[in-house]
Structure 1
Amino acid sequence: MAHHSGEKITEGLDGLRERCMEYFALGARFAKWRAVIRIGDGMPRDANISTNAHALARYAAICQEQGLVPIIEPEVLMDGKHDSQTCFEVTARILEPHLQSVKFRVFYIPGGLLKPKMSYPEILRKPRNSRESSQMTVDCLTAHVPHELPREILFLSGGQSDEDATAHLNLMNSMSVKHPWQLSYSYGRALLHTLCKHGQVVQMKRVRMRLLIERQ
């Protein structure tokens, strides 16, 4: 981002309407767009947050216009030297402007899906208090996500292992905090990493069976 060294903005919206029309005709019904937020010295800055929020809101509006369900992913990276409290504070800072921007532009608020990161410390920090961080994640969502947006929250794994990502999601769903959302997952690496390693030594039939078990 110009004048903001180390920070990224999401780009590529030109021609998105035409691409959405094409993808819908091919059978797509969901779309995902990701903005990267980095924690660091003075980061993220307000300009970085607002620029990414505006871009994700434009993407979401175009998707709904063309019949696609937008998955909105403002990802706070696990890179850096931050603890759970810092991640909580940054996540709180980015959720409200992103969702307010979406709310301003999207015509059907419950028709979008949010894909945030859990409030966990940077990836190399040990030890971690998983229960405390899970509680902070739920508290952050409850305080900063409008109850009408969305109906389901899909967490990204963000570099966690498959075991950690699954355990942390289970912890959040076992808590007694009342909220209007279903807490679920949209994992990439955490779902496929073990399967890819497994697939190097066994037949694909067994890999597919393992994937079905992971999804339950």
Structure 2
Amino acid sequence: MMITKLLKNTIEDLFANGKGILAMDESTPTCDKRFSSNGIPQTLEMRRNYRELLATTPGLNESIGGAILYDETIRQQTKDGEPIASVLMNAGIIPGIKVDLGAKDLAGFPNEKITEGLDGLRERLAEYKSLGARFAKWRAVITIGDGIPTRTCIDANAHALARYAALCQEAGLVPIVEPEVLMDGNHSMQRCYDVTEHALKALFDQLYFFHVDLEGIILKPNMVLAGKDSKEKNSIEEVAQATVNCFLSSVPAAVPAIAFLSGGQSPQQASQHLNAINKDYKERLPWIVAFSFARAIQQPCLEAWKGQSSNLEAAQKLLYHRAKLSAAARRGEYKLAMEDHG
């Protein structure tokens, strides 16, 4: 019971006052790729500078209740020698940690992935907790294509997510479970709906089998969208309605919070869709519906920074503004006109 209360308190703190989560847990290859496309040197020092920029943004705690860190980041210090996790905690932002070791090819199943990282996880969780983490994240990757996803891929990833979640709760950390159905491809919105529903139902079956307390987890899913190469153009209202219907049919009301990923949507799209879900369906939703965005909060900031210390203040202002807009969308108060007031 003590563990359950601890987990619930962490979840309440993360989402208090209309806040959400900043995902700043890009792996080194992903971070380097984003740096490369913005002409930023791909070095350890640059990654540290960037993460310090994010963590020290003035006023970030007005919209952000938690930040997901990468292994490298939770061990790093600012230029002044303060651990980045401490900087966040002192600002009232709860540090979390990405604990999976990435999506690898699923043997025997071409074009499908399985996330690895269960070996030694119990010990790693204990260490991360000692470094200040109060929650963790594990991402499963599900691709839509010809004949995929297979049931094997969905079930294998659901099983891994459940084992991870059970270990987190044992350690007193809130597990963020992330079964991401990718936007890549030319599939229809209906196909995304069907695959997302299948993935969520498989996930909650496994969480039940592994005795995971649903009141002590956060679900981090994709929205229901047509593939980004699809000719299908869905309105904001259609995306919100499909997403809400899919989740009402597959996510138990015991789950306290859903924190959507942006998944390659533009910052504006992610905010518009989240806003419509909260504005139009508030009365029907048994969960907090918030955000755990990475690119949809970071992208404008990264493009403005370009690795130059002279751009630091301008970049932080963009991050602050984007986080504010995400929080407004969580409350159902976002309007496109707000984009211009950064």
2:246 aligned residue: 140
AA partner of residue 186 (structure 2): K
Deviations 1:135-156 (A, max 9, x none): 00010000111111x2110000
AA partner of residue 319 (structure 2): L
2:320 aligned residue: 212
Q: Distance in 1 between matches of 2:138 and 2:212?
A: 18
Deviations 1:89-109 (A, max 9, x none): 100010011012112224422
- Is residue 6 of structure 1 aligned with residue 111 of structure 2? yes
2:300/2:319 contact within 8 Å kept:
no
1:60/1:106 contact within 8 Å kept:
no
Q: Which runs of 5+ in 2 are unaligned?
A: 1-105, 325-342
Q: Distance in 2 between matches of 1:51 and 1:72?
A: 14
Of the candidates 203, 213, 225, which is equivalent to residue 120 of structure 1? 225
With over 3 angstroms needed to count, the CA separation of the structure-2 counterparts of 1:125 and 1:59, relative to structure 1, is same
* Residues 176-185 or 25-34, more deviating: 176-185
Q: Give the alignment's Cα RMSD to 1 decimal.
A: 1.4
1:188 aligned residue: 294
2:122 aligned residue: 17
Q: Distance in 1 between matches of 2:285 and 2:209?
A: 23
Q: CA deviation at 1:198?
A: 1.7
2:300/2:315 contact within 8 Å kept:
no
- For the pair shown, the structure with the greater C-alpha radius of gyration is 2
Of the candidates 162, 175, 183, which is equivalent to residue 57 of structure 1? 162
- Is residue 98 of structure 1 aligned with residue 206 of structure 2? no
Q: CA deviation at 1:83?
A: 1.0
Deviations 1:110-137 (A, max 9, x none): 1100000000011133433221121000
1:203 aligned residue: 311
Q: Distance in 2 between matches of 1:131 and 1:198?
A: 31
AA partner of residue 157 (structure 1): S
SS in 1 for 2:284: coil
Q: CA deviation at 1:207?
A: 2.1
Q: Distance in 2 between matches of 1:40 and 1:215?
A: 33
SS in 1 for 2:229: coil
1:155/1:184 contact within 8 Å kept:
yes
Q: Distance in 2 between matches of 1:212 and 1:106?
A: 39
Equivalent pairs: percent with the same residue? 46
TM-score, normalised via structure 1 length:
0.95
Q: Distance in 1 between matches of 2:153 and 2:213?
A: 26
- Is residue 129 of structure 1 aligned with residue 245 of structure 2? no
Of the candidates 132, 135, 148, which is equivalent to residue 30 of structure 1? 135
Deviations 1:19-70 (A, max 9, x none): 0000001110111000100101111111111111100000000011111110
1:64/1:106 contact within 8 Å kept:
no
Aligned residues: 215
1:35/1:73 contact within 8 Å kept:
yes
2:257 aligned residue: 152
SS in 1 for 2:144: coil
2:213 aligned residue: 108
- Is residue 166 of structure 1 aligned with residue 271 of structure 2? yes
Runs of 4+ in 1 over 4 A off after TM superposition: none
